[in-house]
Amino acid sequence: MRFKMKNIDLVYNRENDEASTLLSFLNNWDANYQNKVRAIDLFKPQLTSKWAWEQKAYFCKIFYHARGHFHEFLWYLGNHAEDKSTKDMVLHNMAEEFNGSARSHEQLYLDFAETLGVKLDKELIEEESYLPCIKEFNKEHLRWLHTNDHNARLSAFSAYERLDNIDYINLLKLVDSMGVNKKGQIFFKVHALVKHFETTEKELQDIWNHTPEKVIQGFNFISEHQIKMWHNLSNEVFNLNKNNADLTSD
């Protein structure tokens, strides 16, 4: 069988070692995603280092909503899971968000905001900076989960977890370019080092062994959808001063 993934031609042969074939797919997927993300202005430190405080604050508020609604994804996945192992993965993920006796990931993000001098009180409840493009990003996750089967949904979840290590390394460089101190960077460092993807590997391998197209389908959706979100977020922040100037001139 032959599958297309954006400019990457992937050949799946059941006579080959299936584990190494999946690994090859994942490595190609990582590289393809990273190449596209690096082309986005949001991930160019030479540009983000020049942001005004208002742009840094705006990024902080918008990204809060891009990441902060993932519990809706988890809630859908867990409630519609076909087996206990999937439910256990969801519960494990949520438990890690609470972080035991240490500060929760939500609190770590609030620490990041505080180091910038940003208050997220109005975002927590009123969601004042929950932009339409970010709402659509989160809602489209749920639409996709609702219209695909268990194996495709689990593959998408695995892909999203795999992106943690890629995205948060990039985001660490971003917040460093913004002048965020070490305390404010902890949230990003934690997510750059997490091993969430590893908890999905066994199930992902099982799906690949029987229906590799489901893995490719789920991973392609997540990568393309995430890249679109980064483009939108980048445009919003970089155009902030321009939009404010336009409003003033009116």
Q: Which two tokens stand for residue 122?
A: 């109005």
Tell me, what's the pLDDT at 136?
A: 98
Q: How far apart are CA 220 and CA 48, in angstroms?
A: 28
Q: Which pLDDT tens digit goes with each residue over 52-97?
A: 999 999 999 999 999 999 999 999 999 999 899 999 999 998 898 8
Q: How far apart are CA 146 and CA 184, in angstroms?
A: 36
Single-letter amino acid, residue 57: A
The answer to whether residue 151 scores a pLDDT higher than 50 is yes
The answer to whether residue 16 scores a pLDDT higher than 90 is no
CB contact at 8 A, 171 and 40? no
Q: Which pLDDT tens digit goes with each residue over 33-56?
A: 999 999 999 999 999 999 999 999
CB contact at 8 A, 94 and 75? no
3-state secondary structure of 197: helix
The answer to whether residue 21 scores a pLDDT higher than 60 is yes
Question: Is residue 84 packed enough to be buried (19+ CB in 10 Å), middle (13-18) or exposed (0-12)?
Answer: exposed
Q: How far apart are CA 57 and CA 9, in angstroms?
A: 41
- What is the rounded average pLDDT for all residues in the chain? 90
Q: How far apart are CA 110 and CA 141, in angstroms?
A: 25
Q: What share of the chain is helix, strand, coil (3-state, %, to 5)?
A: 75, 5, 20
Closest CA to 29 of 183, 170, 227, 209: 227
- Residue 6: HSE in the Cβ half-sphere, 13 Å Cα cutoff: 16
- Superfamily name with CATH number, domain 2-244: Heme oxygenase-like (1.20.910.10)
The answer to whether residue 172 scores a pLDDT higher than 90 is yes
